Amino acid sequence: MCGIIGYIGPKNATETMLSCLQSLEYRGYDSWGLAVNTENGIAFVKEVGKIGAVSSVSALPKSSVGIGHTRWATHGRVTRANAHPHFSNNKKIAVVHNGIIENFQAQKKFLTQQGFKFYSDTDTEIIPNTIEYHMRRGYDFVEAAKRSLNHLEGQYAIVALHADEDQDQLIAIRKEAPLVIGMGKEENEFFVASDVPAFLDHTKKVIFLEEQDLAIINRKLTIFNLSKNIEVHRKIENIGWDPVQAKKGNFDHFFMKEVAEQAEIIERVVNIDKVLIKEIADEMRKAQGVIFVACGSAAHACLSGVYTLASVAKMHANFYFAHEFKNFKKFLTPESLVIAISQSGETADTLDAIRVAKSCGAKTISITNTFGSSLSRESHRTIIERAGPEICVLSTKTYTAQLAVLTLLAYELAGKMDEGVAKLKELIRYIYYLTSEEVRKFIKKIAENLRYTEHLYLIGRDLQYPTALEAALKIKEVTYIHAEAFAGGELKHGVIALIVHGTPCIVFTSEKNEREIISNAMELKARGAYIIGVGPNNNEAFDVWIKVREDEEANSICQIIPMQLLAYQLAILRGCDPDKPRNLAKSVTVK
Ligand code: G6P
């Protein structure tokens, strides 16, 4: 949700930041901007739309220091004026910001009374002007920035530069929004960004800023922790990700590249440290109440986990959307265990749920794809999914990695870890087949029949119900078709009223519940629905059958893959961007 970049070093800041910003565009892509320090003050560009008009930056003079931003609008419409960077009234201070300044209206009023003028509708614009306000009172840039934070309520990551006061200097501040520093390979070279993929081409050595850290980046790096009011030393970590993993390679879109990587990812999950899996399973066994929390696709993985734990490990677990979780906190005790699942590890609602759990004394565990993320640092224990960077806004490979981790946990809890590992290993070849050219072509034909549809319904029972939910989410996110999923049994309680002649319905089946779900398919068919069956056996109820072999608990991993392909093909046919759907951002760092 908004991507930030800052650069200091021997390279041309504009070109370097532009490529970094492109790698960060999955965080927001409605508008963007860059500002660099020059001998004649701050030079900048701002554009509406996706980053692409590289020609517009050619006018920027060469510089060794700059900041950049790709926006996902929260306050203020998508306009050039609202794009970042934002400037102080004296044009000496430039700021990029991710997050929300909750008290911005009161602060704007205060600054207006002091004679400041505002040129955008954003909350961000009060930041450079509050800094200017303090500089007018005689404080230097760093001290004025520190003092400004006392006026800013909310969550934010900020990077700022000043035109005159040490031109080769950036200030970076983190409060409840991610910010990471990249230690460049060149002498005196630093990057600062919302997320590691931004500078993965340049360095894998990083420092994750902690809550309330203020970093002064000039020829050296100095970090103060504002809550402790002391200088702190933060560890340099080495990121295991390979820059090639964050590139499209021969694929047209990250979406398809990441779908195609799923067999390999199951292999990586199988190799996760078994001692860690065992220890986490022990925590689950000991707990009085296991509760999963998450948002979006990760929420569907949680729900799938609840079914898998029940059937494989005979364990009861609950699931709540992370944003709803606080309403149930009175049930929590120090014996409760809250497990948060999040690809990014930065989803504000999920972090909030973990903080609520901790405030009630509960134990917390996270399953995330992002090493060093806020979630991994704030929860007591973490399992890293090892899916590699996921760039497409839609979760695909990280979703299946989450399912695979949950499968391992369930089998370990049942005392059958070897069986769980064997089951996942057995899937690898089959997933290569499910993502093969042959299957893609077959799914493309089905997509051609559905391309003009406006409504689509999906049903499943048992583990196939979360799969239906996730498939519906994939389709609606990227094709803008209204796709809605229901538990098969719910159909006759209202939903069936929506079915008319030709309404496409996708029915997920498994051998365990075949009879019941086929009855539901028949009920749909009797009302004229066009039925696409997904499962191990064909049936006369189906107009089209997508064969996916029976794999019991692993059905959730296998059956979602053709649905990811269907969503992709529909997006292409309907002229939608599969990697960057409208209005969405990959990492939702606001509540
Ligand atoms: C956003 C993304 C979804 C994702 C959800 C949760 O809405 O568009 O694809 O599933 O956030 O993200 P997380 O990083 O917590 O898994």
Contact 80, 31 (CB under 8 A): yes
Same fold, 3-239 and 437-578: no
**pLDDT tens digit string along 353-400?**
999 999 999 999 999 999 888 999 999 999 999 999 899 999 999 999
- Residue 399: the pLDDT is 98
Identify the CA nearest to 31 among candidates 85, 94, 107, 67.
85
> Distance from the CA of 455 to the center of ligand 1, in angstroms?
23
- Residue 499: the pLDDT is 92
pLDDT greater than 80 at residue 590: no
- What is the token pair recorded at 274? 């078994």
Which region among 50-54, 210-214, 474-478 has the lowest average model confidence (pLDDT)?
A: 50-54
- Residue 465: the pLDDT is 98
Distance in angstroms (rounded) separating the CA atoms of residues 85 and 218: 20
Contact 44, 94 (CB under 8 A): yes
**In whole numbers, what is the pLDDT of the chain averaged over residues?**
93
Q: Is 2 a catalytic residue?
A: yes
Closest atom, ligand 1, to C-alpha of 585: 8
**pLDDT tens digit string along 358-371?**
999 999 999 999 98
Closest atom, ligand 1, to C-alpha of 393: 8
- Residue 423: the pLDDT is 95
- Residue 73: the pLDDT is 80
> Distance from the CA of 585 to the center of ligand 1, in angstroms?
8
> Distance from the CA of 243 to the center of ligand 1, in angstroms?
22
Which sequence spans correspond to the domains of the chain?
3-239, 244-435, 437-578
> Distance from the CA of 587 to the center of ligand 1, in angstroms?
6
CA distances from 4 to 97, 160, 166, 433, 519 (A): 7, 11, 21, 39, 52
- Residue 243: the pLDDT is 72
Ligand 1 interacting residues, C-beta cut-off 6 A: 295-298, 342-344, 347, 350, 393-395, 584, 586-588
Fold of 437-578: Rossmann fold (3.40.50)
CA distances from 188 to 170, 224, 267, 565, 584 (A): 13, 19, 39, 45, 36
Closest atom, ligand 1, to C-alpha of 297: 10
**pLDDT tens digit string along 171-224?**
999 998 889 999 999 989 999 999 898 999 999 999 999 999 999 999 789 999
First-to-last alpha carbon distance for the chain, in angstroms, is: 11
Residue nearest to atom 3 of ligand 1 (CA): 296
Testing ligand 1's pocket by substitution, the residue of 254, 258, 297 carrying the most ligand atoms inside 8 A of its CB is 297
Residue nearest to atom 8 of ligand 1 (CA): 586
Contact 170, 65 (CB under 8 A): yes
Mapping DSSP onto H, E and C, the string for 161-219 reads EECCCCCCCEEEEEECCCCEEEECCCCCCEEEECCHHHHCCCCCEEEECCCCEEEEECC
- Residue 529: the pLDDT is 96
Bridge partners (DSSP) of residue 484 are: 457
> Distance from the CA of 219 to the center of ligand 1, in angstroms?
37
Which of 295, 492, 586, 591 is an active site residue? 586
Contact 407, 308 (CB under 8 A): yes
Collect all residues with Cβ–Cβ distance below 8 Å to 95 and sequence separation of at least 6. Answer: 67, 84, 85, 86, 87, 124, 127, 128, 131, 158, 159, 160
- Residue 54: the pLDDT is 61
CATH superfamily label, 244-435: Glucose-6-phosphate isomerase like protein; domain 1 (3.40.50.10490)
- Out of 3.60.20.10, 3.40.640.10, 3.40.630.40, 1.10.20.140, the CATH code matching 3-239 is 3.60.20.10
> Distance from the CA of 469 to the center of ligand 1, in angstroms?
14
Residue nearest to atom 5 of ligand 1 (CA): 296
Given the structure tokens 């920035």, which residue do they identify?
A: 145
pLDDT greater than 80 at residue 552: yes
Which of 2, 302, 392, 505 is an active site residue? 2
- Residue 22: the pLDDT is 87
pLDDT greater than 80 at residue 589: no
Testing ligand 1's pocket by substitution, the residue of 344, 349, 584 carrying the most ligand atoms inside 8 A of its CB is 344
- Residue 1: the pLDDT is 66
- Residue 71: the pLDDT is 87
pLDDT greater than 90 at residue 237: yes
**pLDDT tens digit string along 280-310?**
999 999 999 999 999 999 999 999 999 999 9
**pLDDT tens digit string along 134-162?**
999 999 999 999 999 998 999 899 999 99
**pLDDT tens digit string along 246-268?**
778 889 999 999 999 999 999 99
Bridge partners (DSSP) of residue 175 are: 156
- Residue 53: the pLDDT is 57
Distance in angstroms (rounded) separating the CA atoms of residues 177 and 179: 7
